[in-house]
């Protein structure tokens, strides 16, 4: 790469110092493999991250939109999207098949890589057995960029069909801010009341940001 000492070139730095030594822009430059007319791969990586809003934006962009960026093209766009998806799958599949939910952080670790970066708000349930082990997660509603409806009827039908003894409600905030709204608190209250009638415990309501979460149980808001 023009203008960089050999030890500072991302590919050489990766080989000599390991992956942890590279910044997001340098890792992206390695994937890009080349720059464009008059700019290096690192310059191009910096420009993409700035234009797309960092890794969050890069993870959400489509291959078609990415291929329209200067210096990228269809082949490079496909390579970048495939690399991001491989990383996502490695996180999703890392946990045990029957993870036990003992605390909000356990639910968040399971849910965040699956649903945290959705472009629109999604609401669903993480269904648990009597020992609070994961049966499966199910998205029940998809809304606009800032709202989605979720009805107790749909939640507890899904739970009953799965034979769940307990559940964790979840939804994501596309804004990235996981703090609960007044509507979130009201919804949680309705779900707790319905769960008591059904004999299915609402363990928590976890709101997902991009890489962060908020647990209503941890906030002391899981009350009728």
pLDDT at position 70, please?
A: 85
- Complete domains list, the chain, with CATH: 6-92 (1.10.150), 104-215 (3.40.140.10)
Mean pLDDT, the chain, integer: 87
CA distances from 7 to 17, 34, 45, 77 (A): 9, 17, 18, 27
**pLDDT: is 104 or 92 the higher one?**
104
pTM beyond 0.85: the answer is no
Asked if pLDDT for residue 94 goes beyond 60, the answer is no
Q: Tell me the helix, strand and coil percentages in the chain, rounded to 5.
A: 50, 15, 35
Asked if pLDDT for residue 178 goes beyond 50, the answer is yes
pLDDT at position 95, please?
A: 56
Tell me the average pLDDT across 57-79.
88
pLDDT at position 107, please?
A: 96
pLDDT at position 147, please?
A: 55
Percent residues over pLDDT 70 in the chain: 91
């Amino acid at each position: 790469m023009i203008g960089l000492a050999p030890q500072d070139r991302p590919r050489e730095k990766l080989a000599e110092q390991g992956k942890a030594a590279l910044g997001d822009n340098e890792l992206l430059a390695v994937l890009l493999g080349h720059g464009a007319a008059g700019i290096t791969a690192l310059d191009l990586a910096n420009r993409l991250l700035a234009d797309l809003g960092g890794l969050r934006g890069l993870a959400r962009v489509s291959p078609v939109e990415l291929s329209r960026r200067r210096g990228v093209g269809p082949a490079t766009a496909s390579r970048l999207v495939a690399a991001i998806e491989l990383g996502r799958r490695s996180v999703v599949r890392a946990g045990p098949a029957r993870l036990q939910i003992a605390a909000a952080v356990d639910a968040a670790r399971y849910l965040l890589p699956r649903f945290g970066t959705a472009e629109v708000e999604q609401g669903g349930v993480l269904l648990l057995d009597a020992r609070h082990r994961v049966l499966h997660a199910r998205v029940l509603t998809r809304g606009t960029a800032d709202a989605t409806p979720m009805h107790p009827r749909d939640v507890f039908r899904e739970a009953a069909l799965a034979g769940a003894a307990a559940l964790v409600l979840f939804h994501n905030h596309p804004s990235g801010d996981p703090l609960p709204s007044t509507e979130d608190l009201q919804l949680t209250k309705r779900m707790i009341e319905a769960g008591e009638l059904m004999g299915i415990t609402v363990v928590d309501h976890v709101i997902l940001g991009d890489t962060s979460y908020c647990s209503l149980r941890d906030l002391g808001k899981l009350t009728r």
